[in-house]
Amino acid sequence: MIRKIGVITGTRAEYGLLRGLIRRIQDDPACELQLFVTGMHLSNEFGATYREIVADGFPITQKVEMLLGSDTPSGVTKSIGLGAIGFADAFETHRPDLVVVLGDRFEILAAVSAALIARIPVAHIHGGEATEGLIDEAIRHAITKMSHLHFVAADDYRRRVIQLGEQPERVFLVGGLGVDRLKDIQLMERAALEEAIGLRFKPRNYLVTFHPVTLDRATAQLQMGELLDALSELRDTGTVFTYPNADTEGRILIDMIERFVADRPDSAVAHVSLGQERYLSCLAQVDAVIGNSSSGLTEAPSFKVATINIGDRQRGRLQAASVVNAAPTKTSILAAIVAIQEPSFVRALKDVSNPYGEGGATEKVFQAVKSVPLTDLLKKRFFDL
């Protein structure tokens, strides 16, 4: 019997991680791919990145509109409600045998809540991780409790999922999917990349992504101001910004980035979405990743590229030796920039290993979701330590 596997994606970063898995499901005659696209993918403000999915040759089974124009707490909460309604209809129409989700965003919470009520088993990727400065921390663990198969990136994360009461035989240690996507894409040459992003690289260059820290009140603007003040001190430096996610206060940060770039047309650019090819090509060319994106922890180490991780957003995640932590202050960020330029630090980068593995996670997840028996998955027993 053909297994109908529904994959849910709501952001550009998440899709990049899932892309290889989606391809395997699509190409296997024993599987029927159902692709549910939601969240930022459907927003013109955030690049309408569903078009990248279509360009990759993946038919979209259903678009689930849920993202409101407001990024206030009330607006985000209402978006979750709209998402639950939309996914209830989508699952009623298409009846997937299994739903695959990744991560910890509010779009995924809405989808998994609907799957739980619809009695559809859920396979969750990248559970057990910790990001103590975000609402994503609680959302991630809530998704774990509503899921039935778990694919984790490290042994520490496997133990944490089991600690949450999940049966050990349903928790698979596979590594990070981000490592796989580095191997699945052809990187652009430097000159072609410069043309594509609209910036001639300088003697030093940074890739900057800074998202709101959603458990802090009214601090996104202050923290971004400190970061931009630090970057304004640099000379002979190119800066490539990618927009923050559609989180609380995200639009404030976008306005600040656009003003910064407008004042520096020869040394800074901002992109709503770089797409997979341009983003990873930038990662291979820059001297460091700066901000608080998980990519700096999970992917940059594989490129032997330094990361300056700012603030609490990623606190609790495994970190490679290439990561330097900084407080969200101008002084601390500038000190971190100095630190990554130290000759001893630069020499050590070549020996950095990625704590999220060396690849192969995508194939392990695929083999499990297409073959694990689905009978009795829904009736979970709490595993007591």
pLDDT one-digit tens code per residue, 304-326? 999 999 988 888 888 999 999 99
Phi and psi of 36, rounded to 5°? -105, 120
Q: Which of 323, 283, 309, 243 is nearest to 49 (CA)?
A: 243
- On the question of pLDDT at 248 being above 70, the answer is no
| Order of strands across the sheet that contains 62-64 | 62-64, 31-38, 3-9, 98-102, 122-125, 149-152, 171-173
- On the question of pLDDT at 132 being above 80, the answer is no
Q: Categorize the per-residue pLDDT at 219 as very low, low, confident or very high, splitting at 50, 70 and 90.
A: confident
The whole-number pLDDT of residue 133 equals 66
The whole-number pLDDT of residue 347 equals 96
Question: Mean pLDDT across the stretch 144-163?
Answer: 96
Q: Which of 134, 78, 129, 139 is nearest to 105 (CA)?
A: 139
Mean pLDDT, the chain, as a whole number? 92
Question: Mean pLDDT across the stretch 368-372?
Answer: 96
- On the question of pLDDT at 261 being above 80, the answer is yes
Q: What is the pLDDT of residues 161-218, one digit of tens each?
A: 999 999 999 999 999 888 887 777 789 999 999 999 999 999 999 999 998 875 555 5
- Torsion angle of alpha carbons 192, 197, 202, 204, nearest 10°? -110
DSSP state for residue 40 in the 8-state scheme = G
- On the question of pLDDT at 364 being above 90, the answer is yes
Q: Kindly tell me the number of DSSP H helices and DSSP E strands found in the chain.
A: 15, 13
Tell me how far apart the alpha carbons of residues 280 and 19 are, in angstroms, rounded to a whole number.
14
- On the question of pLDDT at 24 being above 90, the answer is yes
The whole-number pLDDT of residue 357 equals 81
What stretches of the chain adopt beta strand conformation (E)? 3-9, 31-38, 62-64, 98-102, 122-125, 149-152, 171-173, 204-209, 237-242, 268-271, 288-291, 306-310, 323-326
Classify strands 288-291 and 149-152 as parallel, antiparallel or unpaired. unpaired
Whether residue 294 contacts residue 317, with contact meaning beta carbons closer than 8 Å, is answered with yes
- On the question of pLDDT at 101 being above 60, the answer is yes
To the nearest whole percent, how much of the chain has pLDDT over 90?
A: 75
Domains (range + CATH), the chain: 3-175+360-371 (3.40.50.2000), 190-349 (3.40.50.2000)
Q: Categorize the per-residue pLDDT at 247 as very low, low, confident or very high, splitting at 50, 70 and 90.
A: low
Whether residue 172 contacts residue 152, with contact meaning beta carbons closer than 8 Å, is answered with yes
CA distances from 377 to 166, 171, 338, 355 (A): 12, 13, 52, 30
275: helix, coil or strand?
helix
The whole-number pLDDT of residue 73 equals 84
209: helix, coil or strand?
strand
- How many Cα atoms occupy the beta-carbon half-sphere of 241 within 13 Å? 26
Neighbour tally for 258: CB within 10 Å: 13
The whole-number pLDDT of residue 166 equals 98
The whole-number pLDDT of residue 215 equals 59
Question: Mean pLDDT across the stretch 260-268?
Answer: 96
Classify strands 288-291 and 268-271 as parallel, antiparallel or unpaired. unpaired
- On the question of pLDDT at 298 being above 90, the answer is no
Question: Mean pLDDT across the stretch 237-263?
Answer: 88
